[in-house]
Amino acid sequence: MKKTSRQLADGREIVYFDLRGDTPREAVDQRPLEATVTASRIRYDPLRAEWVAVTAHRQGRTYHPPADECPLCPSRGGRHSEIPESDYDVAVFENRFPSFAGDPGPPRAEGAYGLFAQRPGAGRCEVVCFTSDHDSSFADLSEQQARLVLDAWTDRTAELSRLPGVRQVFCFENRGAEIGVTLGHPHGQIYAYPFTTPRTERMLAALAAHRERTGRNLFEDVVEAEVTAGERVVLSGEHWVAFVPHAAHWPYEVHLHPRRRVADLTELTEAERAEFPRIYLELLRRFDRLFGPDEPPTPYIAAWHQAPAGVVERAEFALHLEVFTIRRTSGKLKFLAGSESGMNVFINDVPPETAAQRLREVASE
């Protein structure tokens, strides 16, 4: 892998990851861009004990452009995009409309009893372009290409974790208009948060309680229990195992774990990295076959859960990838309605055992 860092016209960084070490990356961004201005602040919700980002500058971000105006395609034929080069393998650049950006600052408490706390929404948001081919998807990548994306995720996790004020790095992909994707080009994002996310905080609390009660690691026990039960295991390899969790929130939801517990992507061994593309590509291709050939590509979210940086509890965490779709059956979506949105109580119409069986049925020949 070759890594090359360049700057866009407005000063944002773009990083190319190439399969070949002799690939030149000298193209210059020709667009007359002004410096990016962000207004991200985070406000503390005392009742939920969590931070919320307020980002008014994101209202003007690009929304469903036609394919010939895609900002993630290479710059060709006189049309300039976010990618100055005429072709690329994997490209990562700072988001022009980031939810988090800049350096950390001290919190400021306002209002009666100091309950209205806020501070700068420090951190960084990046866009990860998986391929220059606008009409493909992650599932269409070769194993070599998928490995390059994994290497890019790993590199960015290491780099972003070192930024001042960053507490957690989240690599993810939203796929499909039903999910809310505004750009059709195959891509994902990376958020470097200035706090540990609420979801991770809840997992850390569960880990601590389980350790106190049993003396064991909860992640390791869950993976062992799922493998022993077997009925929800979807596919497995020497180093990775994928299963539908016992209490899946979503109609079709799979958790992909390395069999050896590690805190984040940077701790994976070469053997674990080498096997990942085959397992993950097969999983995504099964998702696309779930509902039959007449259905459009399955919308999904793929989310890497990594240990927060600089906290003692990091040692208990286990890296894993969660992939789920909001499509519950042909032509029907799972909406987050009253119970899910109002009370965070999920109601799943597809039994996890049924989902796992279906995901096994659509395995590649």
Binding site: residue ranges? 70, 73, 134, 185
The residue annotated as part of the active site, out of 187, 257, 305, 320, is 187
Instruction: At 32, list the tokens.
Output: 């007359």
Q: Which residue, among 319, 324, 101, 344, has the nearest Cα to 200 in the 3D structure? A: 319
Q: Cα(87)–Cα(207) distance, rounded to whole angstroms?
A: 45
Q: Is 242 helix (H, G, I), strand (E, B) or coil?
A: strand
Q: Which string of b and e fits 204-228 if b means at least 16 CB within 10 Å?
A: beebeebeeeeeebbbbebbeebee
Q: Are 22 and 1 in contact (CB under 8 A)?
A: no
Q: Which residues are annotated as a binding site for Zn(2+)?
A: 70, 73, 134, 185
DSSP output for 18-30: ESSTT--------
Task: Check if 210 is active-site.
Answer: no
Q: State the amino acid at position 226 in one-letter form.
A: E
Instruction: At 295, list the tokens.
Output: 């259905």
Rg of the chain's alpha carbons, rounded to an integer? 21
CB under 8 Å to 19, separation ≥6 — which residues? 1, 2, 89, 144, 145, 148
Q: With residue 151 as reference, give the H or E element that holds it.
A: helix 143-161
Which residues, in sequence order, are bridge partners of residue 5? 15
What dihedral angle (degrees, nearest 10) is formed by the CA atoms of 248, 179, 150, 321?
-10
Strands 252-258 and 233-236: unpaired
End-to-end, the C-alpha distance of the chain in Å comes to 31
The CA distances from residue 186 to 61, 126, 189, in Å, are 18, 14, 11
Residue labelled with tokens 């995720």: 153
| Residues with active-site annotation | 187
